[in-house]
Structure 1
Amino acid sequence: MGFTTKFYMADPHFGHEAALHWESTPRHFGSTEEMDKAIIDRVNERVAESDLLFILGDFAVSNDAEYVAHVFHALRGRKVLILGNHDVDNKGRVKPALVGLPWDVPPVHAMETKDGGQRLYMSHYAHRVWPAGHYGSFHFYGHSHGAIPNIGRSRDVGIDCADMDFGPRRFEQLIKGME
C-alpha cells in the first residue's frame, strides 16, 4: 500500500444530548441529530476512504447499537478507536455497541504511531509525561474539551476545540506553532 494520510480527532460524542449544553464548550446545534450530521459531514469533507482516522475516545454515548453502527459506517476512512471513558462500561469493558464494529485495529487505551517522521503518543487523557516526550515526541489527547491548555508538544484534539471546527485534522495542522 502507498502512503496513507492520517487524521486525528477526539470526543465526537455521537448521540449525546448533554453535549449540546456544556457550559465550557457548548455545541451550538439544534439537536443531537444536527450535531452528529455536522460532525459526519466535516469528517467526510476531509477524510478519504483509504485514510486512517484516529478517534481519541468518546466515539458515541448512545447505547443504540444500530445507531452507533449507522454513524460508524457513515464516516469515511479506516477508523481506529483509542478508548475513552464513554466507550467502556463501569468495569472497563468496551461497550457492546462498539465491540462488533469493523475497526482497523481492535480498540485500545493508548497507542503510538509515527506521522511526518515524528513519534506520536495518543490517549483519551492528557498526560504530563509520555513515551519519548523528553526526546521530542508529540502527544494528542481528548477528554478535557479544551479546558486544559496545550503545553509544549502536547495538545487537545477534541472536535469542540476552536481550531478543530468539529472535525479531524492532519498531524502537520495540529502541530503548527508547537515547541
Structure 2
Amino acid sequence: MSNTFFTAGTHFGHRSILSMCRRPFESIEEHDQALTDNWNSVVGPDDTVWHLGDFAYRCSPQRTREIFGELNGVKHLVTGNHDFKNETRKLPWASPTELTEVNLGGQIYVLCHYGLRSWRNMRRGSIQLFGHSHGRLPDTSQCIDVGVDNFDYRPVSLPKFVRA
C-alpha cells in the first residue's frame, strides 16, 4: 500500500538557507545528506510525494539531478519561486504545476507554494497546503505549512498534520 507525503522548501544546495532558517547543520553537504536520508526514511519507492516548491537553489544542475535521483517515491512538483530559473523544472517530475487540487480519501487539498487567503471550495472544507514561509506564517485549521522547517526536515504524511 502506498502513502502520500507533502513537503516544501528543501532548498538543496542553498548554503544561505542554513543561517536564514537556523537549520541545525554545519555545512550544506551535511544538510543535503540529512534531508535525503530523512526523506528516504519515511518515503518508500511506491509512495507519492508532493513537493510544494523550492526544491533546490544555487545547486549545480548535476548535483540537483543526483539528489533527485536519490530520493524515493513518485515525485510531483508544485513550483516555488526558486524553481523557475534552474535545473529543477527539467527533472522528471510525475507532474509539474503551479497550483493543483488532490482528493485523498474524499478530502480536497489545494496545493500551492504560497499560503493563500482564499481558494476554491475553502468554504466547503478544502484544506490548503503550502510552503515558502519556512514556519513564519501561522497555520490555521484550513491552511497548513508542510515545509521541512516544520516537520523535522522530512516529508509529512496526512495523519501527521490533519487536525481532528
TM-score by length of 1: 0.88
Say if 2:120 is the partner of 1:131: yes
1:125 is paired with a residue of what secondary structure?
coil
**Runs of at least 4 residues of structure 1 off by over 2 A?**
none
* 1:63 Cα deviation from its structure 2 partner: 4.3
1:117 corresponds to which residue? 106
**5+ long unaligned stretches in structure 1:** 90-94
Alpha-carbon displacement from aligned partner over 1:62-117 (angstroms, at most 9, x marks no partner): 3411000000001000110100000013xxxxx3x123321112x11111101232
Tell me which amino acid in the other structure corresponds to 1:130.
W
Equivalent residues in 2 for 1:34-53, closer than 5 Å? 34-53=30-49
Taking the aligned partners of 1:75 and 1:57, their CA distance within structure 2 comes to 15
Aligned match of 1:76:
72
What CA RMSD, in Å, does the superposition of the two structures yield over aligned residues? 1.2
3-state DSSP of counterpart to 1:69? helix
Q: Secondary structure at the match of 1:134?
A: helix
Aligned length: 164
Of 150, 155, 160 in structure 2, the residue corresponding to residue 168 of structure 1 is 155
TM-score by length of 2: 0.95
1:154 corresponds to which residue? 143
Are the counterparts in 1 of residues 148 and 154 from structure 2 also a CA contact under 8 Å?
Answer: yes
SS class of match (1:85): coil
Query: Once the 2 structures are TM-superposed, how far is the Cα of residue 9 of structure 1 from its aligned partner?
Result: 0.5
- Structure 2: tracts of 5 or more residues without a match: none
In 2, the alpha carbon distance for the partners of 1:48 and 1:70 equals: 18
* Contact 2:8–2:52 under 8 Å retained in 1: yes
Cα distance per residue 1:133-171 (max 9 Å; x no partner)? 10001110000111111012111111011xx00001111
Structure 1 residues 4-44: Cα deviation after superposition (integer angstroms, max 9, x where no partner) = 3110000000000001101xx31010100100111111110
Structure having the higher strand fraction is 2
- Amino acid across the alignment from 2:94: D
- Residue number in structure 1 paired with 2:131: 142
CA distance in 2, matches of 1:99, 1:130: 25
**Contact 1:8/1:54 (8 A) holds in 2:** yes
Query: Shift of residue 174 of structure 1?
Result: 1.3
Query: Relative to structure 1, is the Cα distance of residues 99 and 155 closer, same or farther in structure 2, using a 3 angstrom cutoff?
Result: closer
